[in-house]
Amino acid sequence: MVIYEVSVEVDKEIAPAYELWLKEHIVELVKMAGFDGAKLFTFDSGNPLVTNWVTHYQAKSLDLVQNYLEKLAPSFRADGVQRFGKRFRAQRRILTLTE
């Protein structure tokens, strides 16, 4: 199992609009990219000026994640930047299950 993790920090003022977009984005991404599913988490970073979310996208293989990153990720990322500009920050990582 592979988890593609996206962590975002969003300016509090736009958090409600970003959350609506994020939930739609997750559904669309899972369908288009072929992920097995996704889970959305929130956490308190201690900064009252931002809202934080982490999304875990589950994939069967690293190849599936790499395919998404090469072919679909640029347009998905551009959509977020177009809508919200520099009012959010994202970090991404790939987690691979060790047995």
Distance CA 86, CA 82 (A): 9
Do 23 and 40 meet the contact criterion of CB atoms below 8 Å apart? yes
Contacts of 68 (CB under 8 A, 6+ apart): 4, 29, 33, 34, 35
State pLDDT tens for residues 83-98.
999 999 999 999 999 8
Do 88 and 18 meet the contact criterion of CB atoms below 8 Å apart? yes
Domains within the chain, CATH numbers bracketed: 2-96 (3.30.70.100)
State pLDDT tens for residues 40-74.
999 999 999 999 999 999 998 999 999 999 999 99
Judged against a pLDDT cut of 90, whether residue 10 lies above it is answered with yes
* Element holding 2 (H helix, E strand): strand 2-11
pLDDT at 69: 94
